[in-house]
Structure 1
Amino acid sequence: MDPGARMPRWLPRAVVMVLALFACFQLASWAFHQLIGLLVNILIAFFLALAVEPAVARMAARGVRRGLATFLVFLGVFVAGAGFVVMLGSMLAGQIIDMIASFPQYLDDVIGSINHTFGTELSRLAIQESLLHSDWLQKYVQNSATGVLDVSATVLGGLFKLLTITLFAFYFAADGPRLRRALCSVLPPAKQAEVLRAWEIAVAKTGGYLYSRALMALISGIAHYVLFELLGLSYAPALAVWVGLVSQFIPTIGTYLAGALPILIAFTENPWYALYVFGFVVVYQQFENYMLQPKLTSRSVDIHPAVAFGSVIAGTALLGAVGALIAIPAVATLQAFLGAYVKRYEVAHEGGSGADAAASPGSPRRARRRWRPGPR
């Protein structure tokens, strides 16, 4: 190396540029991780606004101010959700009260059975005294006091998150047209048409998913309510609402969670009732999968079951329970948008199989429907 050679003039500037870019990347990464919770809340609010958009637009078309229409829709959702929580809470509270009232008798029966089997002389009062004065109970009470504070903080955090999502969703729905105009104003005319088309597809798919699920939840709730009333189960209306909502709005495992609670309550009243409820849940699920759901979702969210299952798994891996809820409408929107622009060709005839013959150019084939956004 020549000792008299000088350092290139561009090298210090390049080093400074690389360091600046690295610092910007680190800053952006830190900001993204700090704001990931807010971004997820905004994403949930956006899909919630898309879900209520058809109802808000329909009311606005009839002369209702858009802000008032959005408020009325959200008020209806809130009233329905609060009613469900109250019904479910009353059912659980009644079951807990009954369990507490019958627990001493149940404990006496267990102690009597133990004394009869092993020849012991245990008594419930002696066991209660030993438990009340045990060190284990005192430590448990102290830990529970700390746990109450943690639970309170979690509840307050959940309420704040719910309020944040509701406010963003309200603004997105109430100012939907203004938001679209602001977004399209910075794009050329050709891109504006594509953005508006994608927006309409997202609204149609998300709203269709929500309303088809709500209709299936209503049908499922009515069917199970009839069964619960015929069996004479306690809290039949609350159980029917539980089955309808949980089975439809919790993907993949919702059916099992929905059927577990009424089966458990039926078992406490009569083991045969639990068997009847289990059989009805299985039969109704098959009816819903093969008869009801294809007819209700064929026009709104028509995606392959394997794609839906995979999208739920992917959404859960990315965003947890939130991702599982919004995965299906998101994938349906993407599928419809791609189907409107991706050009498809006929498969060339290769052999004599039935599938190839059906795909050959000379054979008739069903015309593919392309997405056409409806009138706004």
Structure 2
Amino acid sequence: MAPTDDTAQITSEAATPAGTAPPAQPPAGAEQGRGAGMPRWLPRAMVLALALVACFQLGSWAFHQLTGLLINILIAFFLALAVEPAVSWMAARGLRRGLATAIVFLGVIIASAGFITMMGSMLAGQIVDMVEDFPDYLDKVIRWINQTFDTDLSRVEVQDSLVHSDWLRKYVQNSASGVLDVSAQVLGGLFQLLTILLFSFYFAADGPRLRRALCSVLPPAKQAEVLRAWEIAVNKTGGYLYSRGLMALISGIAHYILLQILEVPYAPALAVWVGLVSQFIPTIGTYLAGALPMLIAFTVDPWYAVWVLGFVVIYQQFENYVLQPKLTAKSVDIHPAVAFGSVVAGTALLGAVGALIAIPAVATLQAFLGAYVKRYDVTDDPRVHGHRRRGDTPLLTRLRRALTPPGREG
């Protein structure tokens, strides 16, 4: 027989010793409350989430602090890719790779130092000429002011007012205080240049070792892809540099001949300036390169500046449509619109550095991805070349026929 409630109560009372209170029964919802408490995994999940946030903040801070170093390493890597063909050529002929890299970099440093020396001498000469001719310029300005505004100024009065003016004294004080800032910037720039040269030297000298170390952690199939990408990057970057160097040489010679004919001073330095700036500064390099010789030619004769401007424009067209396609067809074969877009994107991402490395980087990416794009033969259709097929009715004729009432056609 099943026990009833009264029987269960009597049994529990009998099981309790005499003189002791029966044990308190837990509340009905206690077990449910204990089961509905905080899960065991929640504290660990919160700690893990906080750790991830802390790691992200630390990584973001470290990346922000190391941005300058990473950009320098990127520049050094592309510079090493650019000199890789010359270094490999010397190494293939028995020269040690480290010595070959040192010879190439020594040549680059000597060429850069020569260019800076030439431009510095030209700038110093122009400054000296301006200082020597300043009294004559001042006399002409004072004479024009006296004739135009009926005044009686003299050069001595103007010089005294300038020397004893407050703004000149403040300008000299600010310039003196800014010398330290300029010196710090110069030292910082030299340190960055040294960093780039050291990294690029190591990348170029230890290129095979670096490739072996990279391939040692990859499966054989991935190793072939990495080596192919590396080879494409070397070919495109080196080809871009050498083709630009050749075009800079041709441009410099052409502009040197013009400046010599016009008897413009500092013709060699100006020719080197035009050649390098017009080729290695994308998009706006041509305008920057042509502005300086135009300015110097204007000091000789204003018409000479017009001649220089016309020659720069004509030579630019010759270079764009005749010279550049032949020299860069195999090295950097990208569309001009793609090149311009890559320069804009590189400038937005990395500034001037991005503008310099954008074209070889895009050319490398295009050549690498081109192997994975399946291409087909194009049908021999006139519309591919922008022509209509025979028998096609022009759109205006069809519209005219559609709008003409029946019976009036013809």
Q: Residue 226 in 1 paired to residue 267 in 2? A: no
RMSD: 1.6
Q: Residue by residue, what CA displacement relative to the aligned partner does 1:211-270 show, whole Å, maximum 9, x if unpaired?
A: 000000000001111111111111111110000000000000000000000001001001
Shifted more, 87-96 versus 2-11: the winner is 2-11
2:75 aligned residue: 44
2:163 aligned residue: 132
| Runs of at least 5 residues in structure 1 that lack an aligned partner in the other structure | 359-376
Displacement of 1:131 in angstroms is 1.6
Shifted more, 10-19 versus 282-291: the winner is 10-19
Displacement of 1:343 in angstroms is 1.8
Secondary structure at the counterpart of residue 66 of structure 2: helix
Q: Distance in 1 between matches of 2:96 and 2:37?
A: 72
2:145 aligned residue: 114
Q: Residue by residue, what CA displacement relative to the aligned partner does 1:35-57 show, whole Å, maximum 9, x if unpaired?
A: 00000000000000000000000
Secondary structure at the counterpart of residue 3 of structure 1: helix
Q: Distance in 1 between matches of 2:77 and 2:236?
A: 13
The counterpart of 1:198, out of the listed 229, 242, 258, is 229
Q: Residue 354 in 1 paired to residue 370 in 2? A: no
The counterpart of 1:3, out of the listed 25, 28, 33, is 33
Q: Residue by residue, what CA displacement relative to the aligned partner does 1:243-299 show, whole Å, maximum 9, x if unpaired?
A: 000000000000000000000100100111111111100000000000000000000
Counterpart code for 2:152: E
Displacement of 1:6 in angstroms is 2.6
Q: Distance in 2 between matches of 1:357 and 1:124?
A: 70
Q: Residue 27 in 1 paired to residue 58 in 2? A: yes
2:23 aligned residue: none
Q: Residue 214 in 1 paired to residue 245 in 2? A: yes
The counterpart of 1:169, out of the listed 187, 192, 200, is 200
Larger Rg: 2
Q: Distance in 2 between matches of 1:353 and 1:175?
A: 53
* TM-score relative to the length of structure 1: 0.92
Paired residues in the alignment total 356
Displacement of 1:186 in angstroms is 0.7
Q: Residue 154 in 1 paired to residue 154 in 2? A: no
| Runs of at least 5 residues in structure 2 that lack an aligned partner in the other structure | 1-28, 388-410
Distance change in 2, residues 1:122/1:77 (3 Å): same
Displacement of 1:123 in angstroms is 0.9
Displacement of 1:353 in angstroms is 4.8
Displacement of 1:342 in angstroms is 1.9
Counterpart code for 1:231: L
Q: Distance in 1 between matches of 2:379 and 2:277?
A: 46
2:399 aligned residue: none
Distance change in 2, residues 1:15/1:207 (3 Å): same
Any residues of structure 2 matched to 1:47-66 within 5 Å, and which? 47-66=78-97
Displacement of 1:117 in angstroms is 2.2
Displacement of 1:70 in angstroms is 0.2
Q: Distance in 1 between matches of 2:115 and 2:140?
A: 36
Q: Distance in 1 between matches of 2:313 and 2:386?
A: 39
Q: Distance in 2 between matches of 1:171 and 1:97?
A: 43
Any residues of structure 2 matched to 1:1-376 within 5 Å, and which? 2-4=32-34, 5-346=36-377, 353-355=382-384
Secondary structure at the counterpart of residue 314 of structure 1: helix
Distance change in 2, residues 1:356/1:219 (3 Å): closer
Counterpart code for 2:319: E
Shifted more, 324-333 versus 114-123: the winner is 114-123
Q: Distance in 2 between matches of 1:131 and 1:223?
A: 45
Displacement of 1:356 in angstroms is 8.2
Shifted more, 7-16 versus 217-226: the winner is 7-16
Counterpart code for 2:144: S
1:361 aligned residue: none
Q: Distance in 2 between matches of 1:289 and 1:116?
A: 50
Counterpart code for 2:83: V
Q: Residue by residue, what CA displacement relative to the aligned partner does 1:283-334 show, whole Å, maximum 9, x if unpaired?
A: 0000000000000000000001110000000000000000000000000000
